[in-house]
Structure formats: structure tokens, C-alpha cells
Amino acid sequence: MHFLYPAFLLALFTLAIPVIIHLFNFRRYQKVYFSNVQFLKDVQEQQSHRRNLKERLILASRLLALAFLVLAFARPYIPGRNAANAGKQQAVSIFVDNSYSMQALNREGSLLDEAKRRAKEIASAYSINDSFQLLTQDFEGSHQRLLSRDEFNDAVDAVKISPQSRTLQQIISRQESLLDMNKSGVRSVYVISDFQKNMAGGQPLKKDTGVRVTMVRLSASSLPNVAVDSVSLLSAIHRPGETEKLVVRLHNYSGKSAEKVPLKLTINGEQKALGSYTVDARSAQYDTLTFSGLKPGWQRAELTLQDNPVTFDNEFHFAFNAAQQMPLLLVNGGTPNPYLKAVFAADPFFNAKQVPDGNVDYSSLNSYPLIVLSDIDAISTGLSQQLKTYVSKGGTLVVFPSASINAASYQSLLQPLNAAWPGALLTENTKVYNINLQSQVFKGIFEGFPQNPELPLVKKYYMLSSAIGNRTENLMTLPGNKTFWAGYTAGKGHVYVSAVPLSEDFSNLPRHALFVPVMFRIALLSGHDLPLFYTLGKDENIEVPPVHVNEKQLLKLVKGGQSVIPDTRQQEGSTLLYVSDQLHETGIYDLKKGDSSVAVLAFNDNRSESDLSYLSNAQLAIAVPQVSDIMESGKASLKGNVTETNFGLQLWKLCIILALIFLAAEILLIRFYKTSVSNKNQPGMNG
């Protein structure tokens, strides 16, 4: 047995006080004269014996009561697993999981309410002089300091559900970073969570060996759950009034099939599509919703499914822009190409702007989904550099060489983009041998393709280099598998390179029936709008087209009465918004500059919380190899478990109880133990 405060044992010397009092009876006796004491002699002897026994019992009770009271102050304990910490100053970090899954219910109520209660129980097991850190999924700056126990309890009461979801590695590393500032004391870490499988991460956790980690598991009821994971639109460009197809990914996270889950699509407050789907257990499937009747402008869309009792992931938000017109930039060598002009003038949806190569406004390039180069003899270094940036950020570039090219300038532009560039000029009459009907460009163009189509005739062409990247898509090829027109992927964008200029001296491509639909298709595939949605806690920076701001006109994200001013940074060809942890609510936000709306952005929760499957104790021990203890949260308080683990088996309460028992025994002895004896049978007393 050990003592937490052994100095109090010096108070055992006070046991001498009742002994001295009993040895020296300071009471004054009063003399009573009696005529004959013959008959009292035996009675006096008997009373003296009983009185001595009573006094010894009272003395023993007082000594034991006082001894156990002193021991209680000395805090005796039987050493436990972590008894070396007893009596030392301690710093304790407690993580309270407040992710969406903590809204699940068990017999104690919601898991979050139970987690908050358990956090307070753990804190109560420590000394009032110990320091505490509260950490939640939000990783707030205010949680990066040590608190007193009362401050900690107040902070726990303020914890609310958060859209964030962290791994165990992130959580424990964050806790250790604060406790590292308190290396002089004993450092302990507690993680209170339901321990979803997504918390484990890919690798076993690494932690400081000087920190004791305890996991407190909260058990939730097993619940079925279906959620929309993601969406995508098949059309890159969205035209008002046209039919759109939305691909929806439905994920069933439960162990049994979800039958006829209703799904509704709403755009700008109007219901556009309705469906009912069955999803197999533990699987994901793709379904398509078709809708039409879009009006020009930004579309605020929401998918809603009915899936009780788990409702936090029943809504999925996305946004896109249905433009009245599509801007295009046609860059020429000084004279506008009549064929390109005629192509895009045929449809009022396309708003084509013609500029000479020496007059290009570089700052506005990212506002054009498609840029077409034609009839340029030599591409300048400045234009080449800007076009590389444009393509890498998602733009589409179509290159038609001129009749007399500077091959080095074309190579300087196209080689870094992993695209072929025109080289030697070959003069031979030939014909396009094949078109790639599997290409995205040709999908949907033909209702029925003839067996012997009339393909473009070629008089002369540039030999396109073969030193290209591996992501090549030939649109048309010449005999011998030579490239006539091909597409290449570069960064987020695409490059299409033709082996011939748009001139009838080289081929009849400009007047061929395929030219117009191919150019339209490339244009319609070239949309590089903002993503349909972002994920809270994951997408901490957002890239938008360049927006020039100043001190008086800042960019703001606005939703209803909520307004957030993100950190804004300008970079080449775009503007970056850093939202970090400023956004806490899902939904659709307006990106505003002053009173005007620049874009509409949609934010959703991290769907990793939708998988309500949990780590077993064995899996948790593998994920955290150096975990000190795994506590199961039952009906009993955790205070006793924590106290026993850190300080051993505490005996001070037992000492208090025993002290009270012996005090009660003393009172009972004084009150009910009689020393007088009836002497009716003594001779001479009956008189």
C-alpha cells in the first residue's frame, strides 16, 4: 500500500492525545459519607471492572477513528498500472468526437451527449490542480490551450455536431502537439468516439512513447443507411432549354439491400426529376436522371432521398451555370479564317471573337472554354507560355498550323503539353483512312454510320511528331496509321492538333461534312466550369476564374444571413479562395464581389461519415499499436476506472467510512453501555 500524501501521516502523533486523557482522569471525585459500606464492597468491585472495559473500548474507538481520519487525508492506495503518476502534476487531452455519426442513438441518448458526459467523468477523476485540453473534430484554435477543470466542463457543454471527419493519426498528433509544451508533467490522451472504420487510416498510428493513450468506445445501434456520394453531368456545356443527363452515385452502407429508395431532383426550387432505386447491400451503383427546361444563369440543384433514421446525409447539393452563350476565342495570324468564322456563325449559342496573335489579352484567356489557333506562322514565346497555363487549368486548345510554319515555335508550345507538333511537310495525294468512332468527339454525332463513308481528301500535310504523351486519342488517321487529327490530355485540359491548315490547298477538310459537327462537338466538350460541388473539411482551397479585388471590394461567400470572407490569393490565370475551417454548414453559397454574384458554389458533407460500421477492439489495437487501454462505455461512471488506472485502488473512502463507524461505536458505547449492576440478591439489601 502506498500513500498519495504521506506527510499527513505525521498527524498520527495526535493519537497520543486520547491516550493521555484516559491515563489521567482529571475529574474531581466528591466524597459521600455513608454509615455502613459493608454491603457496598462487592458492588464497587463489579462496577469498576465494567467501567474499565467501557473506557478501554471507548479509547480504542477514538484511536481507530482518529487513525483512519489521518489515513484518509494521506490518500492510501494499492498501486495500479499507471501508479507512477500518482501525486504528479498532469496534463490531460480529451478528444470528444462530434462528427455526424455521433448523432446516432443508443440507450443513453445520442452518442454526442454520452461523449460529453464521459469527458466530464474523466476530468473529475483527476486533481483540481491538473490541466485539461478539449479537442473536437473542428480543430479550433481555442482548443489549443490548457484549461482548468471548470473551464473544461464549460467548453464540453458548448460542443456541437461538426461536418469534419479526422483520422486517429490526425487526432492524436494534434493532441500531442499541445502536450509537448508540457513535458515536465505527466501527459495523458483520451479519445472518446464510436470509432468508425474510416478513422483508422491506411497505416498503423505513430505516436510519442511518452504519452499514454486511452480509447473510450461508445456503442451505437446498427442502422441502415443510403447516401448520394457524388454526381456528374454528361454535358460539359449546359445550354438553356436543352435536355441534360445527371449521373448519380448511390451508396448503400448497410448489410442488407435497400429497396425502392425515393430520390428527387430539385433545381432552383422546381422539381425536375423523380425516381425510385434499389441498391444492393454494401455496394454502390450509378443511376441516371434526365431533366430539361433550364433557364439561363446559375442553377442551384439539390438531390433529396428518404432514408430514415439516418438523415444527416439525405441531401446532396450541386451548382452549375447554364450560359446563354458560349464565348470562344479564335486567334489568327492577322487575317480571320473564313471557315472558322462560318462554322461558329451557324449557331447563335457560340459567341466567337477573332483576334490577331499579336493582340491577345492574356488576362482574359481563362474566360474562354475553347481557343482555336489558325494560320499563325510563328507562335510568340509570351502567347505560348500563356496557352500552356490555360490548358493546364482546364482549357481546350485547337491548333491548325499555317501554310508556312516556324516548326520550332510550335514544338515549344506543344511538346510541354505532351502533344504532337507539326514537322516536315509531305506532299502526296491521299485520303483519311479511318475515323475513331469510339472517341468522345464522335459519340452522339451519327445516328447510323455508313460502311463506306466519304472521308476528307488530302493533298499535302505536316508530319506530326511521335514524341508525345501516352494519353492520345486519334480522331482521324491517314494510311500507315499516320495521325491526321488527334486529341491529347494535358493537365486538366485538352489539346487537339491537326496535320493540315484550314486551307483547300492542303485538303478539303474545311468544306467536308465532318468539319462542322467535329468542331461543334469539341466546343461542347470543352467546358471547364467550376466543379459541381465541394466537400467540407476536404476542399480547403477553391480555384475560380480570375477576379480582381481591392481593399474596398472583397470576395464573400454568402448563404442566407451567413457571410464568410475567405483568404484570397491571385495566381497566374486564376484566383484561389482559402476557406479552411470557416464553413460549417452544407448548402449553396453565392460568391460575391460587392453586390454582384461572381459564381455559385455548393458544399456537401464528407460522405466517409455515412459508413456506420465500426472498428472492433482487435482492429483498434492494430490501428493504434501502442494504445494503453480500451475502455467500454457502460452504465457505470468512468471516474472509478480512470482513477484506478492512474492512481491505483483508492482506499481513502474506505478510511472515511471506517472513521465514521468507529465514531458511531464510541457514541453507542457512551450512550448504551451501562456500568451499574442490579444487586437485589445481595444479603442485607432487602432490609
Same domain, 184 and 53: no
- pLDDT band at residue 237 using 50, 70 and 90 as cut-offs: confident
Same domain, 376 and 491: yes
Same domain, 101 and 70: no
> CATH number, domain at 451?
3.40.50.880
Query: Is residue 54 pLDDT above 80, yes or no?
Result: no
Same domain, 249 and 235: yes
Q: What is the pLDDT, as a whole number, of residue 621?
A: 82
Q: What is the pLDDT, as a whole number, of residue 649?
A: 66
Q: Which three cell numbers stand for residue 83?
A: 501508479
In a domain, 646, yes or no: no
Distances (CA, A) of 551 to 249, 554, 572, 578: 42, 6, 20, 17
The parent domain of residue 132 ranges over: 88-222+617-637
In a domain, 644, yes or no: no
Query: Is residue 685 pLDDT above 70, yes or no?
Result: no
Half-sphere exposure of 188 (CA within 13 A, CB side): 27
Q: Which three cell numbers stand for residue 480?
A: 500507315
Q: What is the pLDDT, as a whole number, of residue 684?
A: 44
Q: What is the pLDDT, as a whole number, of residue 659?
A: 87
In a domain, 190, yes or no: yes
Alpha-carbon distance of 340 to 180, in angstroms, equals: 66
Residues 605-628 pLDDT 10s: 888 888 888 888 888 888 887 776
Q: What is the pLDDT, as a whole number, of residue 323?
A: 86
Q: Which residue has the higher pLDDT, 187 or 374?
A: 374
Query: Is residue 498 pLDDT above 90, yes or no?
Result: yes
Q: What is the pLDDT, as a whole number, of residue 636?
A: 67
In a domain, 539, yes or no: yes
Q: Which three cell numbers stand for residue 505?
A: 490547298
Q: What is the pLDDT, as a whole number, of residue 154?
A: 93
In this predicted structure, which of 322-326, 370-374, 547-551, 660-664 has the lowest mean pLDDT?
547-551
Same domain, 517 and 577: no
Mean of the per-residue pLDDT values of the chain: 84
- Cell 468526437 belongs to 97
Q: What is the pLDDT, as a whole number, of residue 579?
A: 86
Q: Which residue has the higher pLDDT, 507 or 492?
A: 507
Same domain, 129 and 236: no
Helix/strand/coil for 538: coil
Same domain, 465 and 550: no
How many domains does the chain divide into?
A: 5
Domain closes at, from 501, 524, 547 = 524
Domain closes at, from 524, 542, 561 = 524
Residues 124-134 pLDDT 10s: 888 888 889 99
Q: What is the pLDDT, as a whole number, of residue 180?
A: 79
Query: Is residue 392 pLDDT above 80, yes or no?
Result: yes
Half-sphere exposure of 145 (CA within 13 A, CB side): 6
Q: What is the pLDDT, as a whole number, of residue 645?
A: 66
Q: Once rounded to an integer, what is the mean pLDDT over residues 166-176?
A: 87
Query: Is residue 671 pLDDT above 50, yes or no?
Result: yes
Domain closes at, from 470, 493, 524 = 524
Query: Is residue 178 pLDDT above 70, yes or no?
Result: yes
Query: Is residue 451 pLDDT above 80, yes or no?
Result: no
- pLDDT band at residue 686 using 50, 70 and 90 as cut-offs: very low
| Largest interatomic CA distance in the chain | 162
Is the separation of the CB atoms in 131 and 122 below 8 Å?
A: no
Same domain, 93 and 108: yes
Query: Is residue 679 pLDDT above 60, yes or no?
Result: no
Is the separation of the CB atoms in 408 and 421 below 8 Å?
A: no
Find the DSSP H helices in 221-380: 338-345
Residues 6+ apart with CB under 8 A from 113: none
In a domain, 607, yes or no: no
Query: Is residue 114 pLDDT above 80, yes or no?
Result: yes
In a domain, 296, yes or no: yes
Query: Is residue 687 pLDDT above 50, yes or no?
Result: no
- pLDDT band at residue 412 using 50, 70 and 90 as cut-offs: very high
Q: What is the pLDDT, as a whole number, of residue 620?
A: 84
Same domain, 308 and 410: no
10 Å Cβ neighbour count for 20?
A: 8
Is the separation of the CB atoms in 132 and 147 below 8 Å?
A: yes
Residues 59-106 pLDDT 10s: 888 888 888 888 888 877 676 555 555 556 788 999 999 988 888 877
> CATH number, domain at 218?
3.40.50.410
Q: What is the pLDDT, as a whole number, of residue 551?
A: 74
Q: Once rounded to an integer, what is the mean pLDDT over residues 190-204?
A: 83
Beta pairing class for 370-374 and 212-217: unpaired
Q: Once rounded to an integer, what is the mean pLDDT over residues 577-590?
A: 87
Q: What is the pLDDT, as a whole number, of residue 265?
A: 95
Query: Is residue 429 pLDDT above 60, yes or no?
Result: yes
Q: Once rounded to an integer, what is the mean pLDDT over residues 206-219?
A: 79
Same domain, 505 and 564: no
Q: Once rounded to an integer, what is the mean pLDDT over residues 545-559?
A: 84
Q: What is the pLDDT, as a whole number, of residue 608?
A: 83
Residue 640 has φ and ψ, to the nearest 5°, of -65, -40
Q: What is the pLDDT, as a whole number, of residue 648?
A: 60
Alpha-carbon distance of 394 to 581, in angstroms, equals: 27
Same domain, 132 and 234: no
Query: Is residue 644 pLDDT above 70, yes or no?
Result: no
In a domain, 151, yes or no: yes
**In whole angstroms, how large is the CA radius of gyration of the chain?**
42
Cα angle, residue 459 at apex, residues 454 and 465 outer, rounded to 5°: 100
In a domain, 405, yes or no: yes
| C-alpha torsion sign, points 530, 535, 538, 540 | positive
Same domain, 217 and 230: no
- pLDDT band at residue 677 using 50, 70 and 90 as cut-offs: low
Alpha-carbon distance of 580 to 536, in angstroms, equals: 9
- pTM here is 0.71
Alpha-carbon distance of 518 to 516, in angstroms, equals: 6
Beta pairing class for 350-356 and 587-593: unpaired
